[in-house]
Structure formats: structure tokens, C-alpha cells
A and B are shown apart, each in its own frame.
Chain A
Amino acid sequence: MHELSVTENILEIALTHANASSATKVTDIYLVIGQLSSIVDDSVQFYWNYISEDTICSGARLHFTRIPAKFRCMDCEIEFEMPNELTACPNCGSMLNTIISGEEFYIDSIEIEKEEEKNT
């Protein structure tokens, strides 16, 4: 959908945390994205290669962890994963379901390199 602005946000957050840790280079970025956040990994990667140029994040690998969409039935209280289509509760047929996971959208961690501190 709007992967360019998403990717710009990822870069900004990664740079802020990298600088706070006095990193000289960011090598890996670990992202957690719920299945309900309609983000296309390939598009983020595409933009990433361009916008991270000339920063300490240049060349950093993006790792995507996908969290499946899970629901809880408000009637019989079972939990189930959502297939591709919208469906009623597979156990009791109720349509009253709440989301319990799948909307995640955050940077979990980054891997950085920094000069080793000299211990005397």
C-alpha cells in the first residue's frame, strides 16, 4: 500500500537506536509484521535498498517475522487462525470474533557493529 513511507519510518527508527548505541554500522533489522497489516515484504526491501544508501544502515538485511491472524470467538471462546477468506467461528458458527493477533507492526531489534571499547 504505502511501503515508501513505511520504509522511511523503519530507517528513522533504526538510525535513532543505532546512534544511541554509538554504532558504526547496522547489519540486520528484525521486523515483526502481523498478517493483517497489508505490507508487502518485497516492496519494503525494494525501497530500503534506495533510501538506506549513504547511511550506516546501507546494506543492512531486513528480516520479516510474520504473525498469523488469530481470532477468539466471543460466543464459544475458542481461538482460531483466519484462513484467506472471512469466515465464521469454525466451532460454533458465530460471527462475533475479536482479533487477538495479526495487527503487529514494529521493529523488534537491530544488529549493529561498533568499535570495541578499550579495556585497560
Chain B
Amino acid sequence: MKAIRVPVVEKIFSANDRMAEINRNLMNSHGIFSINLMASPGAGKTSFILETIKRLNHELRIGVIEGDTAPVTIDADKVIAAGMPAVQINTGGDCHLDAPMMSDGLSQLPLSDLDLVIVENVGNLICPAAWDIGTHINVLIASVPEGDDKPYKYPNIYRGLKVLVINKTDLSPYVKFDMNYFRQGVEMLNPGLVTFPLSCRTGDGFDEWIAWLIDQVRSHQRNS
């Protein structure tokens, strides 16, 4: 017997990352732009998706992948009722979606008929940030009632974002939320981050998000 040191130098998530790349390439081949939508439970992910579908008013063809830890189809049912194809992925108690789950979700969507895939990740500010599922951008919804200290307490998720949505701005008069303190934390983690303060309930601020989204999808389609 002899002891031998074998160099490995392989990322621990390498298998996941390879699958994520396959997912991204699959969507690119169909001219699909995709969003990994993350937030804590109750920040308004599903309401945000429904309002986005409504305001796009069929300008884009959308498919939705709903990640949930429990085998309930509450969110997917709402999207289907809004007239868009949706699939439910049950993570079996896991705290996040990974690239193989995403691949499973994509296989159940009519990809040839879509411009945009929105993935609603599991409600959690920690784990989803660590896994590339193969979408093109990460979007986080922070909501005013969650408090203004969240960038300081959950820095990792803010670092990987392309877009930040600040939801429930209509509640600002009723809860203590220092927007300057919040944005200062965000700026340290992700300088110049594209941010949309809005309210799913009143619709304030939504037009800017919709215009940005259409622009992103169309420019992705021109380039892919």
C-alpha cells in the first residue's frame, strides 16, 4: 500500500453547473429569456408573476415553473387560471431548486411557444442564491414589511442579482422601513443594481418593470 495525493480541483457544484449550462443552451435555442425569481416567503412572488402576466397583456408568451417544498399546486393553479402554462416542481422538502429540477420543469413546458420563462424559486433568502439553475438573470423581490436590514443579514443573495424589486411600497406609511439605509446596504453589495420599487396591490411602479422586461427579452431574442 502506498498513499498518493491526487489533485482534483473541481468545484463542488460542478455537476449542477454543467446541467445549468445545458438548461441555458436549451432556452437559447428556443429564443427564450429566463428569470430566477427569489424572495423570502410572503414577499409577493406569485402576485408579482400574476401582475406581470396581466400587464404584459399577451405581448410576451410566458411559461412559469413553480418551485415549492410541499406538494401543493396553489401557485401553479393561479398561473394556469391566468392563461399561461405552468408546472409545479416539488423539491421534497429541499430548501432550493437546482439545475436538474429546472431541467425537469423545462421538459414539461411548450418551449417552442414561449418568449419568457419565469421560475419561482423556493421562498428562502439563503439557499437559492448558491445554485445556478440555468436561467439568464436572478431577480430578488424584497418587500417593505420584511424590514430594511435584509441586505446586511443576507448579503450573498444580493451579490448575485441583476434586478431588485422592492414590493409593497404602499405599506411604507405603516411600517418602519428606512429606504436610504436599505439602499446603502444594497449599494455596497451590488453597486448600481437595477431596482424597481413597486406595489403589486396598487400597481404603482409596475410600468417601469414591464418596459424593462420587454426590452430585455427582445434584445436577448435578437442576440440568440
Contacts and interface: CB of A to CB of B under 8 A. Distances in A.
- Asked if A and B bind, the verdict is yes
A13 B185 contact: no
Given A1-B130, A2-B96, A114-B1, A85 B152 contact: yes
Contacts of B6: 17-18, 21, 23, 109-112
Chain B interface, >50% SS class: mixed
A2 B3 contact: no
Contacts of A31: 12
A13 B188 contact: no
Which size bracket describes the interface of A in this complex?
A: 35 or more
B189 interface: yes
Given A1-B95, A2-B95, A107 B12 contact: yes
A36 interface: yes
B1 A113 contact: yes
B15 A86 contact: no
B3 A112 contact: yes
A114 B8 contact: no
B159 to A, nearest CB: 7
A85 B152 CA distance: 8
A111 B4 contact: yes
B2 interface: yes
Interface in B178-202: 184-185, 187-189, 191
Contacts of A74: 191
Given A5-B94, A9-B13, A108 B8 contact: yes
B3 A111 contact: yes
Nearest to B16: A9
B187 A95 contact: yes
A38 B126 contact: yes
Interface of A: 1-2, 5-6, 9-10, 12-14, 17-18, 21, 23-24, 27, 31, 36-38, 74, 85-88, 95-97, 99, 105-116
Given A17-B10, A27-B3, A74-B191, 6 more contacts: A38-B156, A86-B152, A106-B11, A106-B12, A107-B12, A114-B1
